[in-house]
Amino acid sequence: MSIEWRISSPDNWQADVLIWFGFEGEEAEASDLCADPPGALPWLRDCPALSDFKGKAKQISVAYGPADAKVARCILAGLGKRDKFDLNALRDAVVSAFRRCRDLKLVRVGLPLALFDSLPELGPEALKEALISGLLGLYSYDRYKTRDRNGADYEPACLLLTEEEPAAGKVPPDLAGEVEAIVEGVKLARDLTSGPGNDITPAQLLARAEELATRFDFKLQSFDLDQAAAMGMGAFVAVAKGSREPARFIVLEYAPEGCADERPIVLVGKGITFDTGGISLKPSAKMEAMKGDMAGAAAVLGTFNILGQLRPPRRVVGILPCTENMPDGKAYKPGDIVKSLAGLNIEVVNTDAEGRMILCDALAYGERYQPAAMIDIATLTGACIIALGDRVAGLLGNHDELRQTIRRIGDAVGERFWPLPLWDFYFDDIKSDCADFKNVGNRQAGTIIGAMFLKQFVAEETPWAHLDIAGPSWLEKDLMTTPKGATGFGVRTLFELVRRWK
Ligand code: BES
Ligand code: ZN
Ligand code: ZN
């Protein structure tokens, strides 16, 4: 993948294909394509493909010009109805167009800047969002495919075509670098989440964190099971001790020059590399999906991948408790009482509620950094999928402004978050007869109870948000920017949150 500028008069533009958009119901007059097709395509006006094109959402027509034209193909991509048009419609159109380029093996893909100017009211971010979406829509996990690799190796070169240097403020200053970094970060999260449990082990997540630390000069610490036990992380250790695959508690730190002493933003990601449920064993149907129970940790690693490249001036700490959750002679059991790092005793009632067990020690550890804000991201509860479906993450926490910021950023980058309440009375459901509290309630309000448990480990004065991504971390259907499978959900929002932090 590459993104390059081509600044010259349109009759000198060269590309394998040029992408153009149109709205539905405006095809009667070809001049109603978004803006005038440029001088690069003098043949387009007379091309029959133009009248076949109806502009419907996701519709694609391919128009061919004379073989000796400098640009001999145009992909017309439908934006749907003008009055319904928004950033998501643009994203879908670009993904459809890029996928057709892949099918046709067209590598040099021309995108005229004038095209984006003519789109109604999307602002200077439209081109960036279009490129990011288009490239992410080409994603497929092909590491283990030795045959039928259809299109897996396709790498487009995006050519940004313009007559003159774009005016300041019209496009982000380092557009290409930004797009490439963000796409790489999301892809890293997708690759890790797609990866099977026998490959993406806690040791493997540490290896990836080490790669990032070396490449970008992050500080890295990691603790094994014995070290975690010696530190007092009884809840993390309880989950980890039932697994033969060695656990790792990973701490990554990005502290750019001048920021070393500021209060960091702490990002905590659930890193269960496989969740069997433990002694409270899950049913076998669909259990393979639990290889993705480290999507939170993957999202934090993806975010660090972007931080390393775009280097915003802000200190960030990433905490990744990583382990399997297995049934075993040494596994923790329902009824066990364990002492967490915070000193609070937890009665284990269900070993399948292991995410909150490892996260509570990570949050307590995060408090040591006196964070400016702490955000945890986790595939925590099936209940969140029941409540919100698989396109929306649950958003909980103790700080209205932080929650609003996350929602607003999420909307801008195409990640939906929806708030759930966290009233104090919910704590009643996890009261315990023999310890400080239990790790599950009854079956009601599962997502809220999970968050209520975590809240016990966050200082009242720490702005904290909990993102339950059990739904949107993995999709069973293709949603264009996010093809079927691992989505990398959360990476974009977490990065933007850091970048825009005041
Ligand atoms: N990893 C699961 C949650 C999950 C379910 C993620 C489906 C993605 C898809 C989590 O560890 C879990 O098992 N949660 C339990 C909690 C319950 C025991 C309170 C659940 O959701 O059933
Ligand atoms: Zn579980
Ligand atoms: Zn889990």
List of residues 6+ apart from 174 with CB closer than 8 A:
none
Cα separation, 223 vs 24, in Å, equals 57
Q: pLDDT band at 35, cuts 50/70/90? A: low
Q: pLDDT band at 170, cuts 50/70/90? A: confident
Cα separation, 425 vs 382, in Å, equals 22
Q: What is the pTM of this model?
A: 0.98
Ligand 1 neighbours by CB, cut-off 6 Å? 275, 293, 350, 352-355, 379-383, 440, 446, 470
Cα separation, 388 vs 162, in Å, equals 43
282 is catalytic: yes
Alpha carbon dihedral 249, 284, 389, 304, in 10-degree steps, equals 20
Residue given tokens 């095209």 in the structure block: 115
pLDDT tens sequence across 362-376? 999 999 999 999 999
Spot the catalytic one: 100, 270, 291, 356: 356
Q: Which atom of ligand 1 is nearest to the CA of 277?
A: 13
Q: What is the gyration radius of the CA atoms in the chain, in angstroms?
A: 24
Q: How many CB atoms lie within 10 A of CB 151?
A: 12
Q: Is the pLDDT of residue 29 over 70?
A: no
Spot the catalytic one: 56, 82, 282, 311: 282
Question: What is the CA(437)–ligand 2 centre distance, in A?
Answer: 18
Burial class (CB in 10 A: 0-12, 13-18, 19+), 76: buried
Instruction: Enumerate the β-bridge partners of residue 321.
Output: 249
Contact assessment for residue 299 and residue 490, using Cβ atoms and an 8 Å cutoff: yes
* 3-state SS class at 313: coil
Cα separation, 498 vs 405, in Å, equals 11
pLDDT tens sequence across 267-282? 999 999 999 999 999 9
pLDDT tens sequence across 325-357? 999 999 999 999 999 999 999 999 999 999 999
pLDDT, mean of residues 489-495: 99
Q: Is the pLDDT of residue 148 over 90?
A: no
403 is catalytic: no
Determine which of 146-150, 240-244, 303-307, 446-450 has the lowest per-residue pLDDT on average: 146-150
- pLDDT score of 32: 56
Question: What is the CA(281)–ligand 2 centre distance, in A?
Answer: 9
Cα separation, 353 vs 372, in Å, equals 28
Question: What is the CA(78)–ligand 2 centre distance, in A?
Answer: 43
Q: Give residue 146's region: left, alpha or beta (phi > 0; psi -120 to 50).
A: alpha
Question: What is the CA(270)–ligand 3 centre distance, in A?
Answer: 8
Alpha-carbon distances, residue 190 vs 187, 208, 279, 361, 391 (angstroms): 5, 13, 29, 26, 16
pLDDT, mean of residues 121-125: 82
pLDDT tens sequence across 62-110? 999 999 999 999 999 999 999 999 999 999 999 999 999 999 999 999 9
> Containing H/E element for 339?
strand 337-339
- pLDDT score of 31: 47
The ligand minimizing its distance to the Cα of 277 is 2
Q: Is the pLDDT of residue 169 over 90?
A: no
What residues does the ion ligand 2 have nearby, CB within 5 Å?
Answer: 275, 352, 354
Cα separation, 226 vs 247, in Å, equals 10
